[in-house]
Amino acid sequence: MAQELPPDGPPAVLDVQGLVVRYRTYEAVRSVSFRITRGEIFGLLGPNGAGKTSTLSSIEGLLPADAGRVLVEGIDVRSQPSASKARIGVQLQASSFQPELTMEQIARLYAGLYGVRLSRQQIADRLRDIGLHGELGKRLASLSGGQRQRFALFIAVIHDPSLLLLDEPTAGLDPQARRQLWRRIETLRGGGGSILLTTHSMEEAQAVCDRVAILDRGALLTVDTPGNLIAKHRDDPRVLGVAHGDVTLEDVFIGLTGSDVRD
């Protein structure tokens, strides 16, 4: 069973209600509901084809839902797209920034799109905070993979969004860069932001997420804290059948979604 937030608890920054997404006759997301509160890091887990990307796209307002509602701070994504998008920051697996532009030029471009005024010194200070000190005039094409990920996260939060969506934020990063990005995510949460991330790394989900949702074939299987999920399913025969030693979140994930490789 999903861990429901109490109705008299903190208000939801993101409220997904009965979300349904179809591609012609194929139902990619099947009546999915969950809520994220302020300052919460929430993980969306699932095998390939589980419906994670379709769910994220609907939250962003890029993919209209066939049924259900998505509210960001009480604002309906479908009926008030501009107001909702102003409250959302997005970092995708691959950025589409123009590689010939410098970091300062890209920062000014995106700040302008959100109506944010930033001086050259303010941009330099923010870049220094993420370990890109003195790189203001450096072209994006010359950055390493880890630097690009940090810069993409900087752009995603340039307008101080209430909700940050991260799609596989540490994919392809080495362990040092991955841990550094985890620390950055924790810092953003400390500033009052809510974060929804997708990941295939159970280690990452267990390390940074307050709660996780497991999707499979478009349906929401469970929502809870990583620790509670492990405790609930440590005696589940499906989980014990794949575990090697102490039960981990990955064992729970595989036990609930199956061992078959998904394309």
pLDDT given at position 95: 66
3-class DSSP state of 102? strand
Please spell the DSSP secondary structure of 32-96, one letter per residue: EEEEEETT-EEEEE--TTSSHHHHHHHHHTSS--SEEEEEETTEETTT-HHHHHTTEEEE-SS--
> What is the β-pairing status of strands 194-198 and 41-45?
parallel
Q: Where in the chain is the domain with CATH 3.40.50.300?
A: 9-87+193-221
- Which pLDDT belongs to residue 73? 94
Alpha carbon 16 to chain centroid distance? 14
What's the confidence (pLDDT) of residue 7?
A: 53
Say which amino acid occupies 160.
D
- Residue 72: strand pairing partners: 14, 75
Strands 12-23 and 26-37 come out as antiparallel
Q: Which residues of the chain have pLDDT under 50?
A: 1-3
Nearest-angstrom CA–CA distance, 99 and 118:
21
Give 131-172 pLDDT, tens digit per residue.
Answer: 887 778 899 889 888 888 888 889 999 999 999 999 888 877
Starting from the edge strand earliest in sequence, which strands make up the sheet with 194-198, in order?
A: 88-91, 163-167, 194-198, 41-45, 211-216, 219-224
What is the rounded CA–CA span in Å between residue 4 and residue 200?
24
146 touches 177 (CB < 8 A)? yes
Pairwise CA distance, residues 130 & 140, whole Å: 15
Helices (H), 90-197: 103-113, 120-129, 145-156, 175-190
Distance of CA 213 to the CA centre of its chain: 12
* CA-closest candidate to residue 205, choices 170, 234, 176: 170
CATH topology classification for 9-87+193-221: Rossmann fold (3.40.50)
pLDDT of residue 181: 82
Confidence at residue 130, expressed as pLDDT on a 0 to 100 scale: 83
What is the pLDDT, as a whole number, of residue 8? 54
Give me the pLDDT at residue 183, please.
85
Q: Which of 58, 104, 94, 90 is nearest to 77 (CA)?
A: 58
